[in-house]
């Protein structure tokens, strides 16, 4: 089974990357942004039970003090806040995902040998008064490298 795991900062925890991303967006001359929250996305494959996925999240992927996580089958739609744009960046097929490889090793070191593969990505939740053209400019100029990555855009 393929699982999708999303890890992000808890409400009230400072998101340094999100804060810097707001500044970078404003440096582009796009002033309508009010907040950016960031997080990690993991797609894992294997014969993994829900309990094993919870354990992987708790013990390997999320900091229990500052972060929270959610997971669901990978073919489910991503969780989307109603008042924001969501950008998901991931590697193109065939590009080495070193963090994904490390996740596989870490899970196996936990004694869970049924994991077959892991891929990683980044999630940006962008709030503010922004047009689709502005969001696409932000994606192209700041959030992804077209040579090795692709992105999906949701919301608006």
Task: Give residue 108's pLDDT.
Answer: 98
Architecture of domain 2-155: 2-Layer Sandwich (3.30)
Give residue-wise pLDDT tens across range 42-85.
999 999 999 999 999 999 999 999 999 999 999 988 778 888 99
Q: How far apart are CA 24 and CA 139, in angstroms?
A: 12
Task: Give residue 69's pLDDT.
Answer: 98
| Tokens 């950008």 sit on residue | 87
Stated as kind and residue range, the H or E segment containing 37 is strand 33-46
Find the range with the poorest average confidence among 5-14, 73-82, 122-131, 147-156: 73-82
Check residue 3 and give left, alpha or beta (phi > 0: left; psi -120 to 50: alpha). Answer: beta
Give residue-wise pLDDT tens across range 86-141.
999 999 999 999 999 999 999 999 999 999 999 999 999 999 999 999 999 999 99
Q: How many helical (H) and strand (E) elements, i.e. helices and strands, does the chain have?
A: 4, 6
Task: Give residue 82's pLDDT.
Answer: 83
Confidence (pTM):
0.93
Going from N- to C-terminal start, the domains of the chain cover 2-155
8 close to 39: Cβ distance less than 8 angstroms: yes
Q: How many CA atoms lie within 13 A of 12 on its CB side?
A: 2
Q: How far apart are CA 62 and CA 68, in angstroms?
A: 7
């Amino acid at each position: 089974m393929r699982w999708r795991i999303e890890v992000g900062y808890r409400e009230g925890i400072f998101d340094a990357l999100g804060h810097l991303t707001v500044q970078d967006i404003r440096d582009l001359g796009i002033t309508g942004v009010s907040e950016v929250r960031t997080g990690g996305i993991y797609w894992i494959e294997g014969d993994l039970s829900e309990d094993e996925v919870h354990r992987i999240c708790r013990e390997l992927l999320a900091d229990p003090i500052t972060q929270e996580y959610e997971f669901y089958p990978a073919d489910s739609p991503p969780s989307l806040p109603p008042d924001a744009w969501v950008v998901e960046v991931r590697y193109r097929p065939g590009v080495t995902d070193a963090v994904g490889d490390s996740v596989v090793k870490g899970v196996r070191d936990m004694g869970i040998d049924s994991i077959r593969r892991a891929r990683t990505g980044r999630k940006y939740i962008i709030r503010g008064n922004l047009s689709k053209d502005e969001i696409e400019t932000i994606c192209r100029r700041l959030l992804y490298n077209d040579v090795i990555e692709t992105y999906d855009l949701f919301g608006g």
